[in-house]
Chain A
Amino acid sequence: MRNRSLVSIDDFSKEEILEILDLAGKFELRPVGKLLEGKVIATLFFEPSTRTRLSFESAINRLGGKIVGFADSSISSVTKGETLFDTIKMVNSYADLIVIRHPFEGSARFASEVATVPVINAGDGANQHPTQTLLDLYSIRKTQGSLDNLNVFMVGDLKYGRTVHSLLMAMAHWNTTFNFISPEELRVPDEFKLHLDNAGLKYYEHLDFSDIISRADIIYMTRVQKERFSDPIEYEKVKNVYVLRNSMLRNTKANLRILHPLPRVNEIHTDVDSNPKAYYFEQALNGVYTRQAILCTLLDLNF
């Protein structure tokens, strides 16, 4: 593999993405093993993210690896004023691979330049979160059988949501039709539409999705946050438009699956949870297999 670090989803070619998904499939069949025995993985969480951290730690533990690190920068030397450069230099000599979550955008790229061991970006501010994108792709392929020719609905905050942007960029490798459903203030930024135009892919923008939902293969829900609105009245007007309820799924395709990067607040009503089309909790489990595949790929360990 060309890249020894995973910082941004666009660093990976279509073929490299598929190799990781294939390997994740092998880990799903046999998630426990000794591939990481004798390896020390640093998990540096400069901001808390329980879900992502536990997923990584579960992936590492199930393969026999050991973990050093911290879950919150308030318990590390960062509070004493240590720079990211110094922290990475120090950790680099303790670990075989570094997983980093940091609020500054571009921090993971910088860490990958400072470190001599591979670095995995577990989220750098609003920029990138590529392991989430890979587990989303894995979930889509697993539930649909293929990544080709799907109709993907993305719903909610499409302006600030990094998971949406990265998934959009990645799905542009396949012949995807996109339907973007968001309030006016939270539409997909032009740079991403330009990318789809250049790739010759079709996309449609809507303010509401109740009448078109029957066409969807995948619905990717995200949270519409109140603080994103300059006008609170606008938020009150739209907040219920982007909530998915079980009754809306009545005439949808049999293969439809609903994804959400989690945590959910109220954008998917709990009455959807028992519908077989709800896939967000399995999606989270797929994160463990995908991260096992990423760790082993970057460390050049063969299954």
Chain B
Amino acid sequence: MKGGKQQLVVSAIQNGTVIDHVPAKSLFKVIQILGLDHIENQITFGTNLESKKLGHKAIIKISERYFEDNDINRIALVAPEAKLNIIKDYMVVEKKVVKVPDYITAIAKCMNPKCITNLENVTTRFQVISKKNIALKCRYCEKITSGDNLKII
């Protein structure tokens, strides 16, 4: 992206945040988790872009918007390899990677159909008991939801 030979598929932003290496299938989940569908900032994104690492990746560029680490770690469940570039005056001034948090609130759905969170209006809360192969222990029914069964609310 330096130099002029390679053309950017998604145009550069002057100031803001670039979220790269999002799995293409998780793009809209990331948008939802970060609430990007409810903000006024200019946002551009591209999806199904080629990526050696992910096969198909997506990239999101948000102008004039910076995120707290806590916020950004919320996308770890759907985009564990995501990398963030903080842009000021077209330059990358900081790079960040996402980290799976120890506790997860209001993002994931408990896979136990008899859990109170699936039967009444209760916000889901999980303790992350494994970060490598994601495994979440429900604070309420105490059952474990593994990465393959994970659904984002």
Residues of B with C-beta under 8 A to A107: 116, 140
Number of A-B contacts (CB under 8 A): 50
Inter-chain CA distance A274–B115, complex, in Å, is 42
Neighbour of B117 across the interface among A106, A125, A126, A127, CB < 8 A: A106
Cα(A126)–Cα(B113), bound, Å? 12
Please choose the segment from B72-80, B92-100, B141-149 that sits at the chain A interface, where 4 or more of its residues have CB less than 8 A away. B141-149
1/0 per residue B108-139: CB within 8 Å of A?
Answer: 00001011110111100000000000000011
Option from A109, A126, A128, A191 in Cβ contact (under 8 Å) with B114: A126
**Does A174 reach chain B (CB closer than 8 Å)?**
no
A22 interface hit (Cβ, 8 Å) = no
* Nearest CB of chain B from residue A12's CB, rounded to whole Å: 15
CA distance A191 to B146 in the complex (A): 13
Interface size class, chain A:
10 to 19
Interface residue tally of chain B, by bracket? 10 to 19
Dominant secondary structure at the B interface: loop
Q: Are B120 and A83 in contact (CB under 8 A)?
A: yes
| With A84-B120, A85-B121: A106-B141 Cβ-Cβ less than 8 Å | yes
Besides A83-B120, A84-B120, A127-B141, 12 new A-B residue pairs in contact (Cβ under 8 A), listed by A number: A103-B114, A104-B114, A104-B119, A105-B112, A105-B115, A105-B140, A106-B115, A106-B122, A106-B138, A106-B140, A110-B122, A125-B114
A-binding residues in B (CB < 8 A)? 112, 114-117, 119-122, 138-144
Q: Which residues of A contact B (CB under 8 A)?
A: 8, 83-85, 103-107, 109-110, 124-128, 191
